[in-house]
Structure 1
């Protein structure tokens, strides 16, 4: 009996021993894309975490600024009240030249009224400044919330992002 040899086809790509090179190349490309996507996903998550941390720090800073503004306004108010009381006590013994001997009550009252008006104007300015700071803090908090919502893809009430 003679051994018979099988005829080997001329195209080696169809031979099962060598495998499918095109499929192997596609698998390698798919693995590369999968790795790239994983790395990109990690970078996006890291950036989101960083943004969230910065937003939390900003919120804390806003609350600190609000508390400092309140404390500063209270100190200013106490100082103004102290100044008014000092002016009142000094005005009680005030004598204006050319007036009858003794304290000139009318002149002292006019001066005290002028000082009180100036102090009231200053107090109004300080309160307006504190109000502006509060509005600015609220605006910054809303801005940060909007930016975080946008990065998360969440809807923001009343706004169209995009």
Structure 2
């Protein structure tokens, strides 16, 4: 018992470093695959977020287009009514003047001139309103075009911050020195 050394089996204690610590290459590959999976998941989330924001911008742009079309239609109808009324008034005045009632009705040339001046002013205001409407539609078209253009930068650009929230949308109104309150929809 005490004097004799027991023979041990050398194959049981002869472990290699790879066997003792495990396969380092396989563990490193597993870590790399997990990191790659995590990065792919993040990219998928970013793409989904960008798609959602693009869809929201497209919906906003569609609503702005419909609003601009509606405003243009109403402005055109108001303009047509106003021009028709002015033409009818002028026609009635001319018919009255042709029937020889100039002295009786009090119709005089200065009144005609002032009415023509008013007509020219109204036509100028209508023209100004139509020009502003066209400028707004152009700005909206440019905004929509810019929204759907492919991004040429390496990193995605941040979404443009809204300039001003107006009844027309997220684009700045054209600069104008004259009020258009009489041309706006109420």
Calculate the TM-score normalised by the size of structure 2. Answer: 0.60
Q: Secondary structure at the match of 2:151?
A: helix
* Alignment match of 1:22 (pick from 20, 24, 37): 24
Aligned alpha-carbon RMSD (Å): 3.2
Higher RCO, 1 or 2 (CA under 8 Å, sep at least 6)? 2
Structure 2 gap segments, 5+ residues each:
1-6, 155-186
Structure 1 gap segments, 5+ residues each:
154-162
Distance in 2, matches of 1:67 and 1:25, equals: 63
1:53 aligns to what?
A: 55
Name whichever structure is richer in helix by fraction. 1
My pick for the range that moved more, 127-136 or 54-63, is 54-63
Q: Secondary structure at the match of 2:76?
A: helix
- Tell me: CA distance 1:137–1:67, structure 2 relative to 1, closer, same or farther (3 Å): same
> Displaced runs of 4+ in structure 1, greater than 4 A?
89-94
1:4-153 → structure 2 map (5 Å cutoff): 5-6=9-10, 8-9=13-14, 12-15=16-19, 18=20, 20-85=22-87, 87-88=89-90, 91=93, 100-146=103-149, 149-150=150-151
